[in-house]
Structure 1
Amino acid sequence: MPAEIAEDFNEAAAVLSISPKASAALSRRCLQGLLKSNGYNQKDLAPAIQAALDAGTLPPALAENLDAVRNIGNFAAHPMKDKQTNAVLPVEPHEAEWNLEVLEGLFDHYYVQPAKAAARRDALNKKLEGAGKPPLKTGSGT
Protein backbone atom coordinates (compact mmCIF):
# COMPACT_ATOMS: atom_id res chain seq x y z
CA MET A 1 0.00 0.00 0.00
CA PRO A 2 1.33 3.46 -0.78
CA ALA A 3 2.79 5.19 2.29
CA GLU A 4 0.58 8.29 2.03
CA ILE A 5 -2.57 6.13 2.09
CA ALA A 6 -1.33 4.23 5.14
CA GLU A 7 -0.46 7.53 6.81
CA ASP A 8 -3.95 8.97 6.24
CA PHE A 9 -5.58 5.77 7.50
CA ASN A 10 -3.41 5.58 10.62
CA GLU A 11 -4.12 9.23 11.40
CA ALA A 12 -7.86 8.72 10.87
CA ALA A 13 -7.75 5.80 13.31
CA ALA A 14 -5.67 7.74 15.83
CA VAL A 15 -8.07 10.71 16.00
CA LEU A 16 -11.29 8.68 15.96
CA SER A 17 -11.92 8.94 19.71
CA ILE A 18 -10.91 12.62 19.83
CA SER A 19 -12.68 13.86 16.70
CA PRO A 20 -14.94 11.65 14.61
CA LYS A 21 -15.26 14.59 12.20
CA ALA A 22 -11.49 14.72 11.61
CA SER A 23 -11.37 10.93 11.30
CA ALA A 24 -14.14 10.98 8.68
CA ALA A 25 -12.42 13.73 6.68
CA LEU A 26 -9.15 11.79 6.71
CA SER A 27 -10.98 8.59 5.74
CA ARG A 28 -12.47 10.40 2.76
CA ARG A 29 -9.01 11.60 1.75
CA CYS A 30 -7.66 8.08 2.23
CA LEU A 31 -10.39 6.65 -0.01
CA GLN A 32 -9.60 9.15 -2.73
CA GLY A 33 -5.90 8.20 -2.61
CA LEU A 34 -6.71 4.49 -2.59
CA LEU A 35 -8.96 4.77 -5.63
CA LYS A 36 -6.42 6.91 -7.49
CA SER A 37 -3.62 4.42 -6.76
CA ASN A 38 -5.80 1.73 -8.29
CA GLY A 39 -6.44 3.55 -11.57
CA TYR A 40 -9.53 5.61 -10.79
CA ASN A 41 -8.15 9.02 -11.71
CA GLN A 42 -11.34 11.06 -11.79
CA LYS A 43 -10.90 14.58 -10.42
CA ASP A 44 -13.67 14.26 -7.83
CA LEU A 45 -14.36 11.46 -5.39
CA ALA A 46 -17.99 10.71 -6.36
CA PRO A 47 -17.12 9.86 -10.00
CA ALA A 48 -14.11 7.81 -8.83
CA ILE A 49 -16.39 5.82 -6.53
CA GLN A 50 -18.87 5.35 -9.36
CA ALA A 51 -16.11 4.14 -11.67
CA ALA A 52 -14.95 1.62 -9.04
CA LEU A 53 -18.53 0.42 -8.63
CA ASP A 54 -19.08 0.25 -12.39
CA ALA A 55 -15.95 -1.88 -12.79
CA GLY A 56 -17.84 -4.64 -11.00
CA THR A 57 -14.75 -6.02 -9.28
CA LEU A 58 -15.66 -5.28 -5.66
CA PRO A 59 -17.37 -7.85 -3.45
CA PRO A 60 -21.05 -6.87 -3.14
CA ALA A 61 -20.95 -6.04 0.58
CA LEU A 62 -17.95 -3.80 0.08
CA ALA A 63 -19.50 -2.11 -2.96
CA GLU A 64 -22.70 -1.41 -1.00
CA ASN A 65 -20.73 0.36 1.73
CA LEU A 66 -18.21 2.22 -0.42
CA ASP A 67 -20.30 5.33 -0.92
CA ALA A 68 -20.80 5.63 2.84
CA VAL A 69 -17.20 6.81 3.18
CA ARG A 70 -17.86 9.66 0.77
CA ASN A 71 -21.14 10.67 2.40
CA ILE A 72 -19.86 10.54 5.97
CA GLY A 73 -16.74 12.41 4.87
CA ASN A 74 -18.98 15.04 3.30
CA PHE A 75 -20.58 15.70 6.69
CA ALA A 76 -17.08 16.40 7.98
CA ALA A 77 -15.83 18.45 5.05
CA HIS A 78 -19.02 20.29 4.13
CA PRO A 79 -21.30 20.97 7.12
CA MET A 80 -24.86 19.98 6.31
CA LYS A 81 -27.99 20.93 8.21
CA ASP A 82 -30.99 18.88 9.18
CA LYS A 83 -33.88 20.22 7.11
CA GLN A 84 -36.31 20.03 10.05
CA THR A 85 -34.21 21.34 12.94
CA ASN A 86 -31.66 23.41 11.00
CA ALA A 87 -28.95 21.88 13.25
CA VAL A 88 -25.59 21.02 11.70
CA LEU A 89 -25.38 17.24 11.33
CA PRO A 90 -22.40 15.88 13.23
CA VAL A 91 -20.28 12.89 12.33
CA GLU A 92 -21.10 10.24 14.90
CA PRO A 93 -18.29 8.05 16.28
CA HIS A 94 -19.87 4.88 14.88
CA GLU A 95 -20.03 6.47 11.41
CA ALA A 96 -16.34 7.39 11.46
CA GLU A 97 -15.54 3.87 12.69
CA TRP A 98 -17.61 2.42 9.84
CA ASN A 99 -15.45 4.42 7.40
CA LEU A 100 -12.33 2.78 8.81
CA GLU A 101 -13.92 -0.67 8.51
CA VAL A 102 -14.84 -0.06 4.86
CA LEU A 103 -11.30 1.14 4.16
CA GLU A 104 -9.87 -1.99 5.79
CA GLY A 105 -12.02 -4.08 3.45
CA LEU A 106 -10.76 -2.09 0.48
CA PHE A 107 -7.14 -2.55 1.62
CA ASP A 108 -7.73 -6.29 1.79
CA HIS A 109 -9.31 -6.32 -1.69
CA TYR A 110 -6.78 -4.09 -3.46
CA TYR A 111 -3.54 -4.87 -1.62
CA VAL A 112 -3.60 -7.89 0.71
CA GLN A 113 -5.38 -10.51 -1.39
CA PRO A 114 -3.47 -9.78 -4.63
CA ALA A 115 -0.16 -9.98 -2.72
CA LYS A 116 -1.16 -13.28 -1.12
CA ALA A 117 -2.25 -14.71 -4.47
CA ALA A 118 1.01 -13.62 -6.13
CA ALA A 119 3.09 -15.22 -3.38
CA ARG A 120 1.15 -18.46 -3.66
CA ARG A 121 1.47 -18.49 -7.46
CA ASP A 122 5.22 -17.84 -7.21
CA ALA A 123 5.66 -20.70 -4.74
CA LEU A 124 3.69 -23.10 -6.91
CA ASN A 125 5.53 -22.02 -10.06
CA LYS A 126 8.86 -22.74 -8.35
CA LYS A 127 7.61 -26.18 -7.39
CA LEU A 128 6.36 -26.81 -10.93
CA GLU A 129 9.70 -25.64 -12.33
CA GLY A 130 11.51 -28.08 -10.03
CA ALA A 131 9.32 -30.86 -11.36
CA GLY A 132 10.04 -29.87 -14.96
CA LYS A 133 6.48 -28.69 -15.53
CA PRO A 134 5.29 -25.47 -17.16
CA PRO A 135 4.26 -22.56 -14.91
CA LEU A 136 0.67 -21.74 -14.10
CA LYS A 137 -1.29 -20.19 -16.92
CA THR A 138 -2.15 -16.53 -16.54
CA GLY A 139 -5.23 -14.55 -17.50
CA SER A 140 -8.89 -15.04 -16.78
CA GLY A 141 -10.46 -18.39 -17.34
CA THR A 142 -7.23 -20.26 -17.93
Structure 2
Amino acid sequence: MKWAVSSRKRMHDGANSIGNLLVEGFHYLGLFAIGAVTAWASVMAFMAMLDKGQASVDDILLLFIYLELGAMVGIYFKTNHLPIRFLLYIAITALTRYLIGDVSHHKAPDIGLLYLCGGIFFLSLSVLAVRFASYKFPSSKAIDATGDVVGDNVLDR
Protein backbone atom coordinates (compact mmCIF):
# COMPACT_ATOMS: atom_id res chain seq x y z
CA MET A 1 0.00 0.00 0.00
CA LYS A 2 2.92 2.32 0.68
CA TRP A 3 4.07 1.99 -2.91
CA ALA A 4 0.67 3.25 -4.12
CA VAL A 5 0.87 6.35 -1.93
CA SER A 6 4.45 7.09 -2.98
CA SER A 7 3.58 6.47 -6.66
CA ARG A 8 0.62 8.83 -6.41
CA LYS A 9 2.81 11.48 -4.79
CA ARG A 10 5.49 11.12 -7.53
CA MET A 11 2.82 11.32 -10.24
CA HIS A 12 1.26 14.37 -8.57
CA ASP A 13 4.65 16.10 -8.23
CA GLY A 14 5.51 15.32 -11.85
CA ALA A 15 2.19 16.65 -13.10
CA ASN A 16 2.65 19.81 -11.00
CA SER A 17 6.14 20.32 -12.42
CA ILE A 18 4.94 19.92 -16.01
CA GLY A 19 1.93 22.16 -15.38
CA ASN A 20 4.09 24.86 -13.79
CA LEU A 21 6.53 24.67 -16.72
CA LEU A 22 3.72 25.09 -19.25
CA VAL A 23 2.06 27.94 -17.34
CA GLU A 24 5.35 29.82 -16.89
CA GLY A 25 6.27 29.22 -20.52
CA PHE A 26 2.94 30.64 -21.66
CA HIS A 27 3.36 33.52 -19.22
CA TYR A 28 6.77 34.49 -20.60
CA LEU A 29 5.69 33.98 -24.20
CA GLY A 30 2.68 36.24 -23.64
CA LEU A 31 4.79 38.91 -21.92
CA PHE A 32 7.36 38.90 -24.71
CA ALA A 33 4.58 39.09 -27.32
CA ILE A 34 2.87 42.02 -25.56
CA GLY A 35 6.21 43.77 -25.08
CA ALA A 36 7.20 43.24 -28.70
CA VAL A 37 3.86 44.47 -30.04
CA THR A 38 4.01 47.51 -27.75
CA ALA A 39 7.55 48.33 -28.91
CA TRP A 40 6.56 47.79 -32.56
CA ALA A 41 3.46 49.99 -32.23
CA SER A 42 5.41 52.77 -30.54
CA VAL A 43 8.12 52.68 -33.22
CA MET A 44 5.45 52.78 -35.95
CA ALA A 45 3.72 55.74 -34.26
CA PHE A 46 7.05 57.54 -33.94
CA MET A 47 7.90 56.85 -37.59
CA ALA A 48 4.48 58.21 -38.61
CA MET A 49 5.25 61.40 -36.67
CA LEU A 50 8.60 61.72 -38.40
CA ASP A 51 6.96 61.07 -41.76
CA LYS A 52 4.35 63.73 -41.01
CA GLY A 53 7.08 66.18 -40.05
CA GLN A 54 5.39 67.22 -36.84
CA ALA A 55 4.03 65.82 -33.61
CA SER A 56 0.75 66.91 -32.08
CA VAL A 57 -0.19 66.65 -28.41
CA ASP A 58 -2.28 63.60 -29.41
CA ASP A 59 0.84 61.92 -30.78
CA ILE A 60 2.92 62.68 -27.70
CA LEU A 61 0.22 61.36 -25.38
CA LEU A 62 0.04 58.20 -27.48
CA LEU A 63 3.77 57.72 -26.92
CA PHE A 64 3.18 58.14 -23.18
CA ILE A 65 0.55 55.40 -23.35
CA TYR A 66 3.07 53.11 -25.04
CA LEU A 67 5.67 54.03 -22.42
CA GLU A 68 3.30 53.12 -19.58
CA LEU A 69 2.38 49.84 -21.29
CA GLY A 70 6.06 48.98 -21.63
CA ALA A 71 6.74 49.84 -17.99
CA MET A 72 3.76 47.76 -16.92
CA VAL A 73 5.03 44.75 -18.90
CA GLY A 74 8.49 45.18 -17.38
CA ILE A 75 7.15 45.35 -13.83
CA TYR A 76 4.88 42.37 -14.42
CA PHE A 77 7.83 40.44 -15.88
CA LYS A 78 9.97 41.13 -12.79
CA THR A 79 7.39 40.76 -10.04
CA ASN A 80 4.52 38.65 -11.45
CA HIS A 81 2.17 41.36 -10.17
CA LEU A 82 0.29 43.92 -12.19
CA PRO A 83 0.22 47.30 -10.44
CA ILE A 84 -3.25 48.72 -10.86
CA ARG A 85 -1.83 52.25 -10.76
CA PHE A 86 -0.27 51.77 -14.20
CA LEU A 87 -3.63 50.80 -15.64
CA LEU A 88 -5.14 53.90 -14.08
CA TYR A 89 -2.36 56.09 -15.51
CA ILE A 90 -2.94 54.60 -18.96
CA ALA A 91 -6.68 55.23 -18.67
CA ILE A 92 -6.12 58.84 -17.56
CA THR A 93 -3.71 59.44 -20.45
CA ALA A 94 -6.09 57.82 -22.94
CA LEU A 95 -9.03 59.93 -21.76
CA THR A 96 -6.87 63.07 -21.83
CA ARG A 97 -5.76 62.23 -25.37
CA TYR A 98 -9.38 61.71 -26.41
CA LEU A 99 -10.40 64.94 -24.68
CA ILE A 100 -7.71 67.00 -26.43
CA GLY A 101 -8.52 65.42 -29.77
CA ASP A 102 -12.24 65.96 -29.30
CA VAL A 103 -11.88 69.60 -28.29
CA SER A 104 -9.34 70.49 -30.97
CA HIS A 105 -11.01 68.69 -33.89
CA HIS A 106 -14.70 69.30 -33.26
CA LYS A 107 -17.00 72.22 -32.91
CA ALA A 108 -18.48 73.48 -29.65
CA PRO A 109 -18.04 71.31 -26.55
CA ASP A 110 -21.08 69.40 -25.32
CA ILE A 111 -22.00 67.19 -22.35
CA GLY A 112 -19.42 64.63 -23.51
CA LEU A 113 -16.72 67.04 -22.37
CA LEU A 114 -18.08 66.89 -18.82
CA TYR A 115 -18.21 63.10 -18.95
CA LEU A 116 -14.58 62.92 -20.03
CA CYS A 117 -13.47 65.38 -17.36
CA GLY A 118 -15.48 63.48 -14.75
CA GLY A 119 -13.88 60.22 -15.82
CA ILE A 120 -10.40 61.73 -15.54
CA PHE A 121 -11.30 63.14 -12.12
CA PHE A 122 -12.58 59.80 -10.80
CA LEU A 123 -9.57 57.94 -12.16
CA SER A 124 -7.33 60.48 -10.44
CA LEU A 125 -9.21 59.91 -7.19
CA SER A 126 -8.69 56.18 -7.70
CA VAL A 127 -4.93 56.68 -8.02
CA LEU A 128 -5.00 58.76 -4.86
CA ALA A 129 -6.96 56.08 -3.01
CA VAL A 130 -4.61 53.30 -4.13
CA ARG A 131 -1.53 55.35 -3.22
CA PHE A 132 -2.97 56.26 0.19
CA ALA A 133 -3.94 52.67 0.92
CA SER A 134 -0.47 51.45 -0.07
CA TYR A 135 1.08 54.09 2.19
CA LYS A 136 -1.26 53.49 5.12
CA PHE A 137 -1.18 49.69 4.86
CA PRO A 138 2.26 48.87 3.43
CA SER A 139 3.18 45.39 2.40
CA SER A 140 5.47 43.58 4.79
CA LYS A 141 7.04 41.83 1.83
CA ALA A 142 9.67 43.14 -0.58
CA ILE A 143 11.56 42.29 -3.76
CA ASP A 144 14.85 40.48 -3.26
CA ALA A 145 18.11 40.94 -5.18
CA THR A 146 17.02 38.55 -7.95
CA GLY A 147 13.83 40.52 -8.59
CA ASP A 148 11.57 37.89 -7.05
CA VAL A 149 8.70 39.05 -4.89
CA VAL A 150 9.31 38.13 -1.30
CA GLY A 151 5.97 39.67 -0.33
CA ASP A 152 2.65 40.65 -1.78
CA ASN A 153 0.87 43.99 -1.59
CA VAL A 154 -2.68 43.11 -2.54
CA LEU A 155 -3.77 46.76 -2.74
CA ASP A 156 -1.26 47.63 -5.46
CA ARG A 157 -2.29 44.98 -7.98
**Would the TM-score normalized by the shorter structure come out above 0.5?**
no
Per residue, is there more helix in 1 or in 2? 2
Normalising by structure 2, report the TM-score. Answer: 0.34
TM-score normalised according to structure 1 size: 0.37
